[in-house]
Structure 1
Amino acid sequence: MAKYVQHDEDNSDAVDSTDSSILDPDMKTESPFDTTEADSEILLTPSVSDERTGLFKGTKSYKRRWYILALWCAVGFANFEIWNTWGPIQNTAKYTFNWKTSQISLLVNLGLFTLILFPPVFVLIIDRYGLRVAQLITAGSIAAGASIRLIIPDNSIGICIIQDLGEFLNGIGGVLPMAASTMLSLKWFPEGERRTATAFSTGTQQIGLALSFLIGPLLVDDLKPVDMANSSTDPNDTSTVEPGPTKEEMQGQIWHYILYQSIYAVVLFVLVVVYFPRSPPKPPSEVSFSKREDLLPSVGKIVKKPKFWCLAFVYGLFSGVFNSYLSILDVDLQPKGFSQVLAGWIGSTTTLAGAIGGVIFANLADRLRRHNPVKKLLLMLLCVGFGSFLLFVLSVKAFSLSLAANKAVVFVTVVVTGICSASSVPLVFEMGSDILFPISEELIGSMLVLVQNVFGSLILAAMSIPQLGDAWLDYAVLSGVLLAIPLVLVVDDTNERGKMSETVRRQSGRSIVNSRGGTRNDYSDNDTSDDNLIIMSH
């Protein structure tokens, strides 16, 4: 039996919201255990900030926010790593299960399809029940999807059905990590850490994608190509390969790979069940507790805002298209003389470098936040990404380079483009939350994810049509980056959320910040402050 012991820390920098000296005497106070409440107004203390943290009295940052972020990131990591199971080992999977490239594309596309279908569902769940319930559903879906794939029937059709179902369930678990990272940052982190926290969340998703390019080829043997770069033979024809291990041995390797994934996913689900609170007792900043518009009216408003569509198309054309390309990188590079393992190393390096780049650029945006730098940073990333991928296309389509030189150019250009793509993700989400305020962060994130995955699904759907081939793929990625550049230039980047926060800071005396309405009370009036949580087993 587990027992939780909570240690309080000095709360002198935070004012309890139940103090009668700072509450409107006519305001009705309700129990934190109430399941429904009317809209209320909470009076914060005078605009006096702590010199060390820059936080207002009445707000508080909890040390456990880093554990919450780590667990959130681990779930996102698992989702992306499981989603990209088949791309890096597609040669072996096709040979072992008698699949075609279209089946690999379908498996990848199922994950993207759920990211189009389920964001509205998770927005409703968050709005009604909060982040804890949404995270439980997310971790549970990932664990179920990973575990069901351990069932491998004796026939090819049965294998396809089971694996498709597993990918579908895992895809459901991908909605929250992608769409609500800004919501988690808002709930737990002060203003000077929000973009960095969002970048950690999106970055670890990319790390999961990166390691999938390494783990898969390391655990599952590749086939031995017969000079496929100089052969016109259909890559789906297994006569072009000389397998080392037998099909049964390869199937065993794939099964053990899936087993490791399922164990990790189940452990994460247990950790979420044990401790993942709905929100901290006190908000980390005044904007965290400010009123957001109601959900249904916000949907109508967001679809009518040109600046949303500009930003969403930037995200879809750049990150959506490039992420889909990266998931089938092996398919694109194999005819160019790249082995499955080498393509895996390129994909892994690209996503790992992108995760690091995302944190660096987000931290830079945090440091320069008073200068509203996000639009300029996005424009720079797009221009560099376009130039880099243009060089990639020229090297494989136009230049006559030696195989070694061509591999070097491809490696560098894909990695640089990937860094630019991944670094743009936290900037897009935070910029959306800033310019579309007071629309809720979870709705903005969900809509961005929906649009992004529409673009990604179009790429993978086209790859599923055998008659189209894949010669067009490189040009599609290049065109996507190019089209995104003018959209960034015209987007209105007025920071509405920052203006609200600055207004509160400048108010003298008591500043009124409306708490979020609806049927939930995300912040408790009683701060039990369990910053250091100890689990003692008996």
Structure 2
Amino acid sequence: METKSKRQPEEATPQSFKTYKRRFWILGIFSFLAFFQCLQWNLWGPLSESVDFAFDGFGSGTVAMIANWGTIMYLLFAYHTVRIMDKKGTRVAVLIIAVSVTVGTVLRAGALLINSDILFKVMCHIGAIVNGAVGPIVMISPPVIAAVWFPPNERTTATGCGQLINVLGNAGSYLQPLIVRSPTHATKEEIRSDIARLLYIYVGVSVVVLVSIALYFPAKPPTPPSVSSTKERIDVMGSATTLVRNSDFRLTVISMVFCVSVPAAWYTVLNFSLEEIEIGQDEAMGIGFLAVLCSTIFGILITRITDMLYGHLKVSLIILMSFDIAFFYWFFLLTWGCIEVTQWQVYVSIISGMSLNAATIPLFTELAVEFAYPCSELVVAAFFTFGMNVLGTVFLFLFMIPNIGYDWVTYALLATGSTSILLLVFVEENYRRTNVDKQACEKGQ
């Protein structure tokens, strides 16, 4: 493990720990890569009208299935990626992400050189599979990077940046209609040309990121940043066995899965829910972009406050989730015609609900890591991201059912959110990792 050290915490001295400015480069380049990988995952959702018009066979089922490859690949590769990170470290794991994302962009762009709608569709599926295969590394890396590179008073913020900037990729995808015109403003050939230009840009970006990471992305700092980061972690199988028996950890993970997975998957198919209330692709672009942008900003703000006022994770989560459900209920009333649909209500209900929901992700992560210490952060992240992808896969598969419509989506948002709060009520807080660092400070280490 990268967090291993030959010296145990009780042997440490003040000179044993140090933070480096390069930690911001590590977090920054990883966060951008995570952002870009998420953008590729949600590539076609915001362009659903345009791609369906320009290429035969791109209906809602195809768009949902291409997005669903990300969750399916997570389920298939989660264990293997945990082993890779455990054995090879974050440098090798992050390089694998960069290579896979680059291959996915090249496959899609290369298919356009041959004028075949079938080939293009096949390459889009393959590109999504390649991109989705590294999804587990993207999702489990933030708490590991935070533990290895950042001091205790910055760990929640670092975890939140890695996770929430990944989600910000959805906002980036909703800016794509600025390059790709809608069917109401362009011909089929013009839209195909717009899509080609967009995909070629993505190839260039992915290559630049890959080269940057290859040039400099060390696995760990020369000197660890805190006492808890020097503690040797339990191995992968030992961590998994220990955590399965921890009831507070189980409840926390299940609560997070119910809270986050359905809204996260909903991002990729938000257009279809908005179509039900007569909001088209161009308007959905603004809603989707602002929702994710505000989610990222608000989420990082919450993580910084949490770092400064640490010790109230459970109460903070329950408050955030309660307001989250309230805003989703507002959207529920709009979609079911209980109140008149107006633009400002759609914007406020979706953006507020998504922002509150996203802010829970790093807080859930930190609470789970606290329960699990000294079990591996890799295994902790693997548990909740695996669960999120299981439920997200089920959610997206429902769109494949003929004539199912989209009204059921709001029911799913409310049901999963309510279940999450109920489960979290029974959790008893225990800050094991933080207590180790506090005890070290009290002893003058």
Q: Same fold (TM over 0.5)?
A: yes
Aligned to 2:148: 187
Larger Rg: 1
- 2:397 partner letter: A
Aligned length: 441
TM-score by length of 1: 0.79
Contact in 2 for aligned 1:119/1:447 (Cα 8 Å): no
Alpha-carbon distance, 1:81 to partner: 1.2
Q: Distance in 1 between matches of 2:5 and 2:293?
A: 44
Counterpart in 2 of 1:294? 235
Which aligned pairs between 1:18-167 and structure 2 lie closer than 5 A?
40-42=6-8, 56-98=14-56, 99-150=58-109, 151-152=111-112, 153-167=114-128
SS of the residue corresponding to residue 470 of structure 1 reads: coil
Q: Is the 8 Å Cα contact of residues 381 and 420 (structure 1) preserved in structure 2?
A: yes
Aligned residue for 2:327?
388
Q: How far apart, CA to CA, are the structure 2 residues paired with 1:118 and 1:345? A: 34
Are 1:298 and 1:439, in contact at CA under 8 Å, matched by a contact in 2? Answer: yes
Are the aligned partners of 2:262 and 2:416 in contact in 1 as well (CA < 8 Å)?
A: yes
Q: What is residue 379 of structure 1 aligned with on the other side?
A: 318
Alignment of 1:191-230 (within 5 A): 191-214=152-175, 216-224=176-184
Kept in 2, the 8 Å contact 1:316–1:456? The answer is no
Partner of 1:494: 430
Give the C-alpha shift of residue 316 in structure 1. Answer: 1.8
Aligned residue type for 1:208: G
**CA contact 1:202–1:355 (8 Å) conserved in 2:** no
Q: CA deviation at 1:400?
A: 4.1
Amino acid at match of 1:357: F
What is the CA–CA distance in structure 1 between the aligned matches of 2:162 and 2:5, rounded to whole Å? Answer: 31
Structure 1 stretches of 4+ moved >4 Å: 38-47
The structure 2 residue matched to 1:333, chosen from 274, 280, 301, is: 274
2-structure distance, mates of 1:281, 1:321: 40
Amino acid in the other structure paired with 2:152: E
Unaligned runs of 5+ in 1: 1-34, 48-55, 225-243, 512-538
Q: Deviations over 1:292-321 (max 9, x none)?
A: 111112222222332233222222222110
Of 267, 272, 289 in structure 2, the residue corresponding to residue 348 of structure 1 is 289
After the TM superposition, which of the residue ranges 191-200 and 167-176 deviates more from structure 2? 167-176
1:179 partner amino acid: I
Q: Deviations over 1:251-297 (max 9, x none)?
A: 11111111111211111111110000010000000111102111112
Q: Structure 2 vs 1, CA of residues 310 and 46 (structure 1 numbering), >3 Å: closer, same or farther?
A: closer
Residue 186 of structure 1 deviates from its aligned partner by 0.8
User: Offset at 1:497?
Assistant: 1.1
Secondary structure at 1:57's aligned position in 2?
A: helix
Q: Give the conservation status (yes or no) of the 8 Å contact 2:258–2:417.
A: yes
Distance 2:197 2:385 in 1: 32
Identity over aligned pairs, percent: 26
**How far off its partner does 1:337 sit?**
1.0
Q: Aligned partner of 1:138: which letter? A: I
Alignment of 1:390-409 (within 5 A): 390-401=329-340, 403=341, 406-409=342-345
**TM-score under structure 2 length normalisation:** 0.95
| Coordinate RMSD, CA, aligned | 2.0
Aligned partners of 1:437, 1:384: CA distance in 2, in Å? 30
Q: Hey, what's the Cα distance between the residues in 1 that align with 2:205 and 2:263?
A: 27
Indicate whether 1:274 and 2:233 are aligned: no
Conserved 8 A contact 1:203-1:355:
yes
Give the secondary-structure state (helix, strand or coil) at the position aligned to 1:292. coil
Which protein has the bigger helix share?
Answer: 2
Q: Which one-letter code corresponds to 1:505 in the other structure?
A: C
Counterparts in 2 of 1:84 and 1:181: CA distance versus 1, 3 Å = same
More strand by share: 1
Query: Which gives a bigger RCO, structure 1 or 2 (Cα 8 Å, sep 6+)?
Result: 1
Amino acid at match of 1:203: L
The aligned residue for residue 431 of structure 1 is 367
Q: Is the 8 A contact 2:5 2:230 kept in 1?
A: no
Letter in 2 for 1:254: I
Indicate which of 125, 137, 162 corresponds to 1:176: 137
Where in structure 2 are there 5+ consecutive unaligned residues?
A: none
